[in-house]
Chains A and B, each alone.
Chain A
Amino acid sequence: MSRNAEEHLSPPKVADGESYIHASVYTDPDLFAEEEEKVLRRTWKFVCHISEVEKAGDYRTHQWTGVPLVTIRGNDDKVRTFVNTCSHRGAKIVRDVAGNMKHMTCFFHMWEYDLEGNCTYQPREEGYEELGPTKDDLSLREIRTDIFAGLIFINFDGNAESLRDYIGEAGEPFEKIFNNHELEVFHYNQTHVKGNWKAWYLTNCDLYHEWSHLVNRTTSVLTKGYHDRPWRIQPNGHGYNAHHLDGSPFQVNYKKYKSWENRDHLVFKGLAPGEFRVTDIFPNLSVFFRATCIRLNHSTPIAPGHCIMEERGLAIKGESREDRRMRTKQFVQIWGPFSRNASEDCAYVEATHACQEAGANPYDLMSRVEKFEDGVHERIHSDTYLRHFWGEWSRLMGRPANNPKNFMEAAE
């Protein structure tokens, strides 16, 4: 039966309140503002790979919760992040996306900062003798920056636990493999997505939608053992799926897609031929392995209905041109703007957002349960990770994801 207005607007008839959320978490501007404060500025945010800031003076600019930032390798080899705004009149200092610099010069009045964020030069500084400030009062604001397995992260919150503690066991599927090689970024693209950053991230965490990708339908879903992988749920909102419950790897049959070969050459050390793994780091980083390719995927939220998604491909530094070309070819078959899967994923998020924005679907279901015989682990088409994500989100926000606005009203 089709549903009438009352049925459509009532909470879904599922077993518990963790099996659905309210769509306002994707669209409400107040919740978005609060998220910036309570979630995005209090958790570790992925910035870039260390190969992007290899030498002293190499920098990458980016932004988080609207704040312009610059991440730069100092002369002491340490990677730091600064709020990218001059202490004088507040202009954005470093204006390009990436590059190398000896020091940072603000283009407005030529004030200068060294790579450690100290203010080193004020033109015609005698003008400050009477009223101040002195250069010592004018250092850039530094943001906590740390590195895990070559991935650079920042955290606005000085009191947050260390990056290593934050990631914890969730590093297990990728840390060793990342450390087995010297990696570098060979692919980068960004896409403005008309949708919420969480919806983007959760598309990476929702393997049930593999039914819709022709690639996954042909090469993965129908593969023996596909459903025998468990979700490994980790503290702090993380999770991953990698090997089967019996410890054997999940191997994708790439040759099932017309004109593709299996991936048994150029496989990263520590992975089996064709092996697939994905690790989801709260709040929005996904680390994918597809035997020969590594993809780092995260997004920068701009507004409730707007995020900028970034994809990075990692390869082995110094490999031969032929090897790099083959690795690149395999990467862009599945990921990137001309790939089979990434554009499909963007379409899911945008088509969903188009409805949520207008209240056309007030709820988002995450009631799938597919338990293993052990009664504990859940299979990969279970929504267990989605529920875990929203549990962590609710905890940080102090609002239940299935009813965040009513809670708001009650609190007022």
Chain B
Amino acid sequence: MTISDDQIKNLIYKSCRLLDAEEFDDYLDLYTEDFEYKVTNYSPEIKSDQEWMDANRAELKGLLANVPLHFRLLGSFMRHATVYDIERNGADTANALTYVTIYYTTPEGATSVWAVGRYHDKIDVSGDTPLIADRNMKLETREVGIGTHLPM
């Protein structure tokens, strides 16, 4: 069975919803076993690309398990995503480009734009359901307040 573009879009949107809800186990289920997750950006200060998070399954799982033990930015994130482009690489993989705006809401209810960026995803479409094989969140925003322990 061929995986449709809509299935790929739904996968990406689901990854946003599950992360918003902090349902980390279900979130990790959207990825392949050997996925790589990165948050990257370009710094004009040092004139190079850089990685601000780089984790495989074991590392992301470890981090997300520890999140409740860390203290962190209070409040909530809401990711608003639009898939702009899906490109097939033969039968087994596809590349998807998604524009993402992340809103942050304080515990008192005030909302602001926290960051904008683009998901560059490699999607595994070889099975019955699509899975994220690699995700690179390329941030446009480099000032993110005190920062966060969470993947974006």
Contacts and interface: CB of A to CB of B under 8 A. Distances in A.
B45 A332 contact: no
Given A214-B66, A344-B70, A185 B146 contact: no
Which of A186, A187, A259, A329 has the largest count of B CB atoms less than 10 A from its CB?
A259
A265 interface: no
Interface residues of A, number: 36
Nearest to A213: B70
A188 B46 contact: yes
A96 interface: yes
Contacts of B142: 189-190
B147 A97 contact: no
Contact of B71 (A185, A193, A344): A344
B52 A337 contact: yes
Nearest to A326: B54
B25 interface: no
A371 interface: no
B70 A340 contact: yes
A280 B146 CA distance: 22
Contacts of A338: 39, 52-53, 147-152
B6 interface: no
A186 B52 contact: no
A260 B58 CA distance: 9
Contact of B51 (A52, A332, A344): A332
Contacts, number: 106
Chain B, interface size category, equals 35 or more
Contact of A259 (B48, B59, B150, B151): B59
Contact of B46 (A186, A257, A328, A340): A186
Nearest to B43: A188
A60 B44 CA distance: 10
A325 interface: yes
B106 interface: no
Interface string A290-327: 00000000000000000000000000000000000100
Contacts of B144: 191, 337
A140 interface: no
A338 B152 CA distance: 9
Interface of B: 39, 43-48, 50-55, 58-59, 61-63, 65-66, 69-73, 142-152
Interface of A: 52, 60, 96-99, 185-193, 212, 214, 257-260, 325, 328-329, 332, 336-340, 342-344, 346-347, 350
15 contacts: A52-B45, A97-B45, A98-B47, A192-B143, A212-B71, A214-B70, A258-B65, A260-B59, A260-B62, A336-B52, A336-B147, A339-B52, A346-B145, A347-B71, A350-B146
6 nearest CB pairs, A to B: A259-B62, A343-B147, A337-B147, A346-B146, A258-B62, A338-B53
